[in-house]
């Protein structure tokens, strides 16, 4: 991210420069639709980020300029001061959630921009929230711990942006560490870093540039399926709170008590929880071939059992398999968006060229390609 344009705009608007902060977008290598089932996710921060320059202005107002939207806004920090601009609600929400937790926030000026692709499932909103949560905590010396900073971002989504998201995106943006992925237990919030240094491989996102409308209603339906399956299993095994607590044989015990659809959804989730653990073991052995195979298994499960893929994503996944890509799967909620691909470096150029051409021939437009490197999360730049 080029910080010079941000600084130039900041100086032109507000005079002297301020402090600069950044936080990253994220990928999730494996562990999809496991968060609300109390399972593991396995994200990492990436080298696509939001950068903000900030300086106190001696007032009780915030003046903010978005370089990407080429727009400015000014607002107070009381609940009734919520701005009408959607992009500004993320910043306002972070301020309000910080104040609710006893943090001090005074008026400041800011200019910010980012290179996290919008609509690609890389959590640009979480990067924005984490940038300002970290910056406000640092500038005003509030002493808020990193877990709470992540929860400030999550609560911003819930209370000011209308999105009932889990904690993974903000957690990855705040806790990200260069060269490591993070296994997060969404039930206990315990986490552990695992090395991710795939020498000889590249992580490549292939963005289908499509998003199908049934995503939100289908998401809710699958969550309800999982809850019904877990409730049926709990009758035999009272210790079960989430599907992540279940053994595969326990699901077989209730096969005749739940619908075939609920059974398939639960079968996917229980398998996916185990795949996250298998990938962690493989990374500790530096075995990226196993990592890749688990990614293919996840895509199969998301497509055939959980049914959240679509024609475009299945095409990209099959193309990757047939062209020697080590691992590939749909990343995110499904029904469009990206596949995440683990590609050997010697195959990279040909794969990118061929997949663009093949997808365009099939669907009439080229996919977007994003190379990503696992990087640090929220931090002060200067």
Catalytically active residues are 169
Strand partners, 330: 339
Going from the C-alpha of 169 to that of each of 127, 175, 186, 191, 202, the distances in angstroms are 8, 10, 12, 14, 22
> What DSSP string runs through 99-149?
HHTT-----EEEEEEE-SPTTSSS-HHHHHHHHHHHHHHHHTT----HHHH
Cβ distance 333 to 122 under 8 Å?
no
Q: Where are the beta strands (DSSP E) in the chain?
A: 19-28, 40-41, 43-56, 62-66, 71-75, 108-114, 180-185, 191-195, 201-211, 327-331, 336-344, 368-372, 379-380
Q: State the Cα–Cα distance between residues 317 and 323, nearest whole angstrom.
A: 10
Q: State the Cα–Cα distance between residues 224 and 331, nearest whole angstrom.
A: 21
Going from the C-alpha of 267 to that of each of 30, 228, 271, 355, the distances in angstroms are 16, 13, 6, 31
Residue 200: count other Cβ atoms within 10 Å of its Cβ: 9
Report the candidate in 80, 76, 131, 129 with the shortest Cα–Cα distance to residue 105: 76
Rounded to 10 deg, the angle between the 311-322 and 345-363 helix axes is 140
Spatial CB neighbours of 99, under 8 Å, sequence gap ≥ 6: 77, 105
Cβ distance 368 to 117 under 8 Å?
yes
């Amino acid at each position: 991210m080029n910080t010079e344009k941000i600084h130039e705009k900041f100086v032109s608007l507000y005079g002297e420069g301020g402090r600069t902060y950044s936080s990253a977008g994220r990928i999730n290598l494996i562990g999809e639709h496991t968060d609300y089932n109390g399972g593991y996710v396995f994200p990492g921060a990436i080298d696509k980020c939001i950068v903000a320059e900030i300086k106190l202005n001696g007032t009780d107002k915030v003046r903010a300029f978005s370089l990407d939207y080429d727009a400015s806004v000014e607002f107070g920090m009381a609940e009734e001061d919520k701005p009408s601009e959607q992009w500004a609600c993320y910043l306002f929400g972070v301020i309000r959630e910080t104040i609710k937790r006893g943090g001090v926030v005074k008026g400041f000026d800011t200019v910010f921009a980012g290179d996290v692709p919008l609509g690609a499932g890389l959590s640009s909103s979480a990067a924005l929230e984490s940038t300002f949560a970290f910056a406000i905590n640092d500038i005003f010396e509030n002493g808020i711990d990193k877990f709470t900073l992540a929860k400030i971002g999550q609560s911003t989504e819930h209370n000011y942006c209308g999105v009932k998201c889990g904690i993974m995106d903000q957690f990855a943006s705040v806790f990200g560490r260069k060269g490591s992925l993070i296994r997060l237990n969404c039930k206990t919030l315990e986490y552990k870093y695992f090395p991710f240094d795939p020498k000889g491989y590249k992580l490549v996102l292939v963005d289908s540039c499509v998003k199908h409308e049934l995503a939100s209603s289908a998401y809710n339906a699958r969550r309800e399926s999982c809850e019904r399956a877990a409730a049926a299993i709990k009758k035999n095994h009272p210790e079960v709170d989430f599907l992540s607590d279940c053994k595969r044989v326990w699901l077989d015990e209730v096969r005749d008590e739940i619908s075939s659809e609920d059974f398939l959804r639960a079968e996917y989730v229980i398998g996916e929880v185990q795949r996250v653990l298998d990938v962690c073991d493989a990374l500790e052995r530096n075995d990226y071939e196993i990592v890749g195979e688990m990614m293919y298994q996840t895509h199969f499960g998301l497509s055939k059992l959980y049914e959240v893929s679509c024609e475009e994503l299945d095409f990209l996944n099959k193309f990757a398999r047939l062209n020697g890509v080590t691992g590939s799967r749909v990343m995110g909620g499904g029904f469009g968006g990206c596949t995440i691909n683990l590609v050997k470096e010697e195959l990279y150029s040909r794969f990118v060229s061929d997949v663009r051409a093949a997808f365009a021939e099939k669907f009439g437009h080229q996919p977007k390609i994003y190379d990503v490197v696992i990087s640090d999360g929220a931090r002060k730049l200067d």
